[in-house]
Amino acid sequence: MQFVRSSVNLKRSVMVGWDVLAWALSFAAFVLVRFDLELSDRVWQGALAYLAAAIVLQVIAGFRFHLYLGRSRIGSYDEVTLLGSIVLGIAVALGVFFSVTQPVFSRGLVIAMPALAFLVMAAGRWVFRATVGTGRRNRNGGVSPTAKPALIYGVGDAGHQVARLVEIAEHPPYSIVGYIDDDPAKRYLRVRGQRVRGRGDDVVHVARSTGAEIVILAVTQATPQLLQALSERCKSAGLDLIVVPPVREMIAGRVELDQLREFNVADLLGRRPIESDLSEISDYVAGKVVLVTGAGGSIGSELSRQVSALGPARLVLLDRDESALHAVQLTLDGSGLLDSDDLVLCDIRDHAALTKVFEKHRPDVVFHAAALKHLPMLERHPEEGWKTNVLGSVNVLRCAHESGVRHFVNISTDKAADPTSVLGQTKRLAERLTAWYAAETGLPYLSVRFGNVLGSRGSVLDTFRAQIERGGPVTVTHPEVTRYFMTIPEACELVLQAGAIGRPGDVLVLDMGEPVRIVDVARRLIDESDKDIEIEFAGLRQGEKLHEVLLSDAEKGAPSSHPLITQVSVPHLEPREVLVEDADVPSLVRLLRRPSSLKQPADSTPMASSW
Residues with a catalytic annotation lie at 415
DSSP letter for 311, please. Answer: -
376 in Cβ contact with 382 (< 8 Å): no
Q: Kindly report the three-state secondary structure assignment for every residue of 396-441.
A: HHHHHHHCCCCEEEEEEEHHHCCCCCHHHHHHHHHHHHHHHHHHHH
The angle, 0 to 180 degrees and rounded to 10, between the axes of the packed helices 488-501 and 298-308 is: 60
Q: H-helix or E-strand containing 502?
A: none
Provide the residue type at 281 as one letter: I
Cα separation, 303 vs 312, whole angstroms: 13
Beta strand 558-559 with 565-568: parallel, antiparallel or unpaired? antiparallel
Task: Provide CB contacts within 8 A for 493, sequence distance 6+.
Answer: 274, 276, 306
Cα separation, 289 vs 361, whole angstroms: 8
Task: Provide CB contacts within 8 A for 187, sequence distance 6+.
Answer: 196
Cα separation, 509 vs 111, whole angstroms: 61
Cα separation, 352 vs 319, whole angstroms: 15
DSSP letter for 320, please. Answer: S
The angle, 0 to 180 degrees and rounded to 10, between the axes of the packed helices 585-593 and 422-441 is: 110
Cα separation, 44 vs 36, whole angstroms: 12
Beta strand 445-450 with 507-510: parallel, antiparallel or unpaired? parallel
Q: H-helix or E-strand containing 315?
A: strand 314-319
Quick one: which of 456, 393, 454 has its CA closest to 427?
A: 393
Q: What is the DSSP string of 139-155?
A: TTSSS-TTPEEEEEE--
Whether cis (ω within 30° of 0) applies to the bond prior to 312 is no
560 to 447, 503, 509: CA distances (angstroms): 14, 10, 10
